[in-house]
A and B are shown apart, each in its own frame.
Chain A
């Protein structure tokens, strides 16, 4: 299945009428307000989240802090254009995402890949499948009602974030490289040095977990 078959659906900009109404360039008519990066509490929470993301992928605290610092510095100059915090956050993360992806692609540092699988080994799938590999009664996927409509709801993106945040690190790393940073499978294999069959196992588990989490925290709630 090609990645490009899906229509692009943009999450809505939360509480950000200037951006929603007129695009990024013209926050006209808005009351002058401090942008999110000037709010210390918001900035510090954002920074913590960014460092967590960068460290997961780069495996090095200093490297992660440098990348985050650069991303924030780059973000600062344009921050006035974004009224809503959600918009600022996704934007700053986009800058960070690209920095991290560049570092991963161009530096042959990193990871000791065997640790990737080891992290994950313990976590069996026995809470989802029985010993014959069939769905357990409680975990058998039931239909989701109109999932596409969720993409229009700001709350859904918050839930998705919580679910991604709860992913075991080994799974999170490869899954985010694949689905967030847009690496191809073979690029991931060479970058983090895992075999493709190991990668497929990790992605399979990540997707099972993410599906389960979205089901519990979102789709089952709505039903």
Chain B
């Protein structure tokens, strides 16, 4: 698989959030995103989505602390 199409490239980017990609995989992926702005944008947005979901979950976990869990984080507020 030397040349990726966009479906394969996005799949590989998604997988990179689950496992460490091999050297070859990283190389072909880099080659693809170098020439493909759509996949380049997708890659960045994938990172953002994880960040957003983390915020979503973390926000919820603040409440969990308030419910009597350990105070592992400061109270919500000053965003």
Contacts and interface: CB of A to CB of B under 8 A. Distances in A.
Interface string B5-29: 1111011001111110000000000
A144 B48 contact: yes
Given A141-B38, A148-B48, A200 B75 contact: no
Interface in A141-194: 141-144, 147-148, 150-152, 156-157, 160, 179-182, 185
A10 interface: yes
Interface stretch (A31-39, A61-69, A105-113, A205-213): A205-213
Nearest to A215: B45
A6 B76 contact: no
A25 B67 CA distance: 11
A78 B69 CA distance: 12
Main secondary structure of the interface of A (DSSP, over half): helix
A63 B73 CA distance: 31
A74 B66 CA distance: 11
Chain B: number of interface residues, binned into ranges: 35 or more
Interface string A122-143: 0001001100111100001111
A13 B18 CA distance: 31
Contacts of A222: none
Q: Counting chain B CB atoms within 10 Å of each CB, which of A23, A160, A204 scores highest?
A: A204
B51 A9 contact: yes
Interface in B50-79: 50-68, 74-79
A19 B49 CA distance: 26
A41 interface: no
Interface string A81-106: 11000010011111101100000000
A152 B61 contact: no
B11 A11 contact: no
Given A24-B66, A24-B76, A160-B52, A11 B59 contact: yes
Given A133-B7, A200-B18, A142 B58 contact: no
B46 interface: yes
Closest 3 CB pairs between A and B? A91-B63, A133-B5, A23-B75
27 contacts: A6-B47, A6-B51, A9-B51, A10-B62, A12-B79, A19-B75, A19-B77, A20-B77, A75-B67, A90-B63, A91-B62, A91-B64, A97-B57, A129-B5, A133-B7, A141-B41, A144-B41, A179-B49, A180-B53, A181-B57, A200-B18, A203-B18, A204-B10, A204-B15, A207-B14, A207-B46, A211-B45
